[in-house]
Amino acid sequence: MSSHTLLLLYGSQTGTAQDTAERIGRQAQRRRIRVRVQALDTYNVANLILESLVVFVCSTTGQGDPPDNMKNFWRFVFRKSLPSGSLCRLDYAVLGLGDSSYPKFNFVAKKLYKRLLQLGGNALLPVGLADDQHDLGPDGVIDPWLSLFWQKALALYPPPADLSPLPDEDPLPPRYVFHFLDDTTEEPVVKPMLAHGQAPPSSAHPFPARVVSNRRVTAPGHFQDVRHIEFDITDSNIQYSAGDVVMMRPCNSPEDVEQFCQLLRLNPDKYFVLTPTDNNTAPVPVRLPQPCSIRFLVQEFLDIAAVPRRSFFELLTTFTDNELEREKLAEFSSAQGQNELHSYCSRPRRTALEVLTDFPHTTAKLNVNYLLDLFPEIQPRSFSIASSLLAHPNRIQILVAVVQYKTRLHKPRKGLCSSWLASLASSHGDVCVPLWVKKGSLKFPQDHNSPVIMVGPGTGVAPFRAAIQERIAEGRTANVLFFGCRSESQDFYCRGEWEQKIQAGQMTLFTAFSRDQEDKIYVQHRVKEQAKLLWDLIVNKNAFFYIAGNAKQMPTAVCDALKEVFQQEGGVTESQAQEMLDTMEKTSRFQSETWS
């Protein structure tokens, strides 16, 4: 395979597909195969006809959509004008990462696999469909799929005969080398990461939005802290409409940063410059200033508070010279040890930083050059925007449930982003959050006469608050909202606002307070109760129906309730009711945005 290069292209939304692609890349290096790993949208897709061996690793987002970093590639590869034999020289494999509890399970991988076949590509093996619901997690599919892939690939592209594979316990070279700057050098000028001016803010150039207010909207005694946070986006050139989402990257807590630097004996105030090593084709990450301080790297870039993946343990195994620790790390890295790893890491939500404290001998041997191999970059978080520019010019508002819960570990677990946001007080001077906006998956009707029916329990109400504000500002009053929460007195978000709008005849509200009476009442019960109204709105008035909120049972229960409405009021059979719902979905009159 000396003259050939394996190309690994990934489409990743939360970093899992990227991690998997990088892991396959390390396996290729051990097999002495030249390899490149790239995000799909950073790759010049016109070069695909020149490649001989490519593995695509991709996840599926939303309602069967490609991840953000493969959207341009996706548009290109589905162009009608591409000739059917254009990829006849390409040997390829597609590995999908998904969750079979979602209706569009691994949709992107399946569709890409078929499309590459249409374009003349030669599939080395069937599409791999990794599933979070598998007993052994996604690796239950990935491991056997990879061993078959290596069999096929090495038969077609054997590596040079004089090079034997590198053993698993030998460390591979790092991707970057740290060059620390001398103490005598002047403080480096850090280039600003934040953009003002004409181009709308983006991931690479977010806008520093001032926190205007940050208030708790659940009752003081309520178990959950939910915040209504408002940002000032004056002069940002940000435009958004109802259904869009705001993106931001959280920072690690000062305590975690300090503990990390102590464990690895790093001086947070030291500056360094990164250079890629010979085997690395990736440039220095754009978000890291050059020179950069250790503090900036640990606080704003390395995801040290996340639950580490299997690849983290694979890499740690190569550093240790302690027998006990090596045995444990090797077990966590193996296919057979995934249940053990799950009980140690995933179930109690143990962080990478806590793992380092559990393996002191290994941590003491850690080489700073490997930090970017070990820790992924902090991924941006997205929040449905809960306000309309028409009602709140120059503002973005969000509803955030602060994540905190107990596991068997001593310290309570905290959501990185929600805890960070909650800690930003608006009262002490100017606190800014770098953010940008992207299109959401919910689209509201252009037709002024179409009524809108929205089911948004809990913080799922956020995009519907934006929609109601926007529609009322445009003079549209056919707005029906189903809102559910635990208790009328504890977590009834935006109550005052809804009451005003109801009195003004601008909306209709149905509430379900699940814990305020003996029997639990949920939004799906209210949907069934309003069968006559809903049938009239959907069938006679061309209404659009939306669901937003937690993906566990609610979306399915609401869909079932809606089908019962069709059966009861329209006298249709169960399968006809399902067909009606499918037709609404195809014509965008039924939309849902759920998160786990």
347 shares its domain with 410: no
One-letter identity of residue 230: E
385 shares its domain with 316: no
Residue 125 among known ligand-binding residues = no
Residue 211 among known ligand-binding residues = no
- In-domain check, residue 192: no
Under 8 Å between Cβ of 128 and 120:
no
519 shares its domain with 577: yes
260 shares its domain with 239: no
One-letter identity of residue 229: I
CA pair distance 357, 371, nearest whole angstrom: 16
Residue 102 among known ligand-binding residues = yes
Nearest Cα to Cα of residue 222 among 574, 485, 520: 485
Residue 14 among known ligand-binding residues = yes
15 shares its domain with 149: yes
Q: Which token pair is 70? A: 């493969």
245 shares its domain with 258: no
Residue 346 among known ligand-binding residues = no
- In-domain check, residue 563: yes
- In-domain check, residue 132: yes
Nearest Cα to Cα of residue 467 among 501, 513, 417: 501
pLDDT digits (tens, 9 = 90+) for 128-157: 999 988 887 888 899 999 999 999 999 999
Which structural domain range is residue 124 located in?
6-156
Q: Is 191 helix (H, G, I), strand (E, B) or coil?
A: coil
Residue 371 among known ligand-binding residues = no
pLDDT at position 426 is 60
Residue 106 among known ligand-binding residues = yes
Residue 105 among known ligand-binding residues = yes
- In-domain check, residue 1: no
Residue 104 among known ligand-binding residues = yes
Residue 60 among known ligand-binding residues = yes
pLDDT at position 195 is 45
CA pair distance 346, 309, nearest whole angstrom: 9
456 shares its domain with 425: no
Residue 512 among known ligand-binding residues = no
Residue 471 among known ligand-binding residues = no
Q: Taking the CB of residue 349, how many other CB atoms lie within 10 A of it? A: 14
Say if residue 291 is preceded by a cis peptide, omega within 30 of 0. yes
One-letter identity of residue 332: F
Nearest Cα to Cα of residue 483 among 446, 447, 521, 445: 521
Residue 523 among known ligand-binding residues = yes
240 shares its domain with 388: yes
Distances 308 to 59, 269, 304, 373, 430 between C-alpha atoms, Å: 19, 26, 8, 12, 34
CATH number of the domain enclosing 96: 3.40.50.360
58 shares its domain with 83: yes
Nearest Cα to Cα of residue 451 among 539, 517, 375: 539
Residue 281 among known ligand-binding residues = no
Residue 416 among known ligand-binding residues = yes
358 contacts: CB under 8 Å, gap ≥ 6: none
Residue 15 among known ligand-binding residues = yes
Number of domains composing the chain:
4
Output the CA torsion sign for 49, 54, 55, 59.
negative
- In-domain check, residue 194: no
Residue 101 among known ligand-binding residues = yes
Residue 98 among known ligand-binding residues = yes
User: In this structure, what are the phi and psi dihedrals at residue 578, rounded to the nearest 5 degrees?
Assistant: -65, -40
Residue 8 among known ligand-binding residues = no
CA pair distance 230, 210, nearest whole angstrom: 9
Residue 103 among known ligand-binding residues = yes
Residue 417 among known ligand-binding residues = yes
Residue 391 among known ligand-binding residues = no
Residue 92 among known ligand-binding residues = no
Residue 492 among known ligand-binding residues = no
3-state secondary structure 534-546: HHHHHHHCCCEEE
Residue found by looking up tokens 């030998």 in the block: 170
CATH number of the domain enclosing 541: 3.40.50.80
- In-domain check, residue 112: yes
Residue 100 among known ligand-binding residues = yes
Residue 595 among known ligand-binding residues = yes
- In-domain check, residue 162: no
280 shares its domain with 405: no
219 shares its domain with 318: no
SS3 content of the chain, % helix, strand, coil (to 5): 35, 20, 45
- In-domain check, residue 37: yes
Residue 521 among known ligand-binding residues = yes
CATH number of the domain enclosing 386: 2.40.30.10
364 shares its domain with 478: no
Residue 164 among known ligand-binding residues = no
CATH number of the domain enclosing 319: 1.20.990.10
Q: Which token pair is 522? A: 């949920």
Q: Which token pair is 339? A: 């249940």
Residue 97 among known ligand-binding residues = yes
Residue 419 among known ligand-binding residues = no
List of the chain residues with pLDDT < 50 = 1-3, 190-196
Residue 143 among known ligand-binding residues = no
